[in-house]
Structure 1
Amino acid sequence: MAEAHAIRRNAPPPYRGGCLCGAVRYVAAAPTLGARICHCATCRAAMAAPYLAQAQFPRRAVSWEGTTARWRSSDRLYRHFCPRCGTRLFLEPRDAPRLGIPLATLDDPAAIQPEMHVWTCEALPWALGPDALPRYPQGSPLPYRKPAGA
């Protein structure tokens, strides 16, 4: 139910955004495969923030101008960032053809609504707001949606 509600509230693609200094600009030309707020310690440290609100897109639907650097934050994930200003831009799973984009880097960060909280077992007590989104102690039991035409 929350999934359908979040889709209805999202603005239509394309979604545009970029880094703080403007050296990297991106476009996500497809609907999101899902949007989640992750409270895990790795995402918190990588983002230097209390959580990571991000949306996943089919990899083929995301393009960008400018150069990113990346580092491997776990066995399955690369994190891309702007080498000039340091803005964290993309999460690239090694095991799936998709990219995560932090919602805060969108030109309109309210264009995509998160659908759930994940890894709440690691959440900072003050970082879980009073919203009605589903909460999962670890990863979501719901897979990301399939891209259209897949």
Structure 2
Amino acid sequence: MPRNAPPPYRGGCLCGAVRYVATVPTLGARICHCATCRGAMAAPYLAQAQFPRRAVRWEGTTARWRSSERLFRHFCPRCGTRLFLEPRDAPRLGIPLATLDDPNAIQPEMHVWISEALPWGLGPDDLPRYPQGSPLPYRIAAT
């Protein structure tokens, strides 16, 4: 299991209009290679950590877009930075690790949706790899 820095985790958008803090340890961190995440992030994958929704506060205004039946993606309307992933079926938020003030504070634990990965987007790490979504407990609703 990777060693993460202790909370709180602070971060924000590129222009500084939105700042956030997550006050508890992550529920899990993963690298998603699905086509939806790649397209939404304009990147070969999305490295993100999940937190209980109640443990994340932010200042500033976000806009959101529904990228799938179950997921909203929040972004800064001023600079466009993608900030949060909000599932409709669970009280949690995903936070892209690249938006943390210290992007090394949380280490990914696995790769998911590698069935949709770009061949050159998979690094030479030894993290577990799953052809589709995360295994349990990552699909369990946060309480």
> Same fold judged by TM-score > 0.5?
yes
Confirm or deny: 8 A CA contact 2:53 2:93 kept in the other structure. Answer: yes
Q: Calculate the TM-score normalised by the size of structure 1.
A: 0.90
Task: Give the 3-state SS of the residue equivalent to 1:35 in structure 2.
Answer: strand
Whole-Å Cα distance in 1 between the matches of residues 43 and 124 of structure 2? 18
Return the alpha-carbon distance in structure 1 between the equivalents of residues 111 and 136 of structure 2.
12
1:29-74 CA-to-partner distances (Å, cap 9, x unmatched) read: 0100000000000000000000000000000000000000001000
Query: 1-side partners of 2:109 and 2:126: how far apart?
Result: 10
- TM value normalised by structure 2: 0.95
- Aligned-pair identity in percent equals 91
Deviation at 1:142, TM superposition (A): 2.3
- Deviation of the 1:27 alpha carbon: 0.2
Residues 73 and 149 of structure 1: CA distance in aligned 2, closer, same or farther (over 3 Å): closer
Q: Is the 8 A contact 2:52 2:142 kept in 1?
A: no
CA contact (8 A) 2:111 2:130 kept: yes
State the superposition RMSD in angstroms.
Answer: 1.6
For the structure 1 residues 149 and 88, does the alpha-carbon distance in structure 2 shift closer, same or farther, using more than 3 Å as the test? closer
- Residue 115 of structure 2 aligns to a residue in which SS? helix
- For residues 95 and 102 of structure 1, the distance between their equivalents in structure 2, rounded to whole angstroms, comes to 19
User: Deviations for 1:2-50, whole angstroms, at most 9, x for unmatched residues?
Assistant: xxxxxxx100000000000000000000100000000000000000000
Q: Distance in 2 between matches of 1:90 and 1:140?
A: 18
Q: How many residues align?
A: 140
Seen in structure 2, the aligned counterparts of structure 1 residues 34 and 85 have a Cα distance that, compared at 3 Å, is: same
Cα distance change, pair 149–143 in 1 and its aligned pair in 2 (3 A): closer
* Partner SS for 2:73: strand
Correspondence list, 1:1-150, <5 A: 9-144=3-138, 150=143
SS of the equivalent of 1:131 reads coil
Residue 143 of structure 1 deviates from its aligned partner by 2.0
Unaligned runs of 5+ in 2: none
**Structure showing the higher helix proportion among its residues:** 1
Q: Distance in 2 between matches of 1:27 and 1:74?
A: 26
Distance 1:62 1:149, change over 3 A: closer
- Mapped to 1, the partners of 2:138 and 2:132 lie a distance apart of 15
Give 3-state SS (helix, strand or coil) of 1:42's partner.
helix
Deviation at 1:149, TM superposition (A): 10
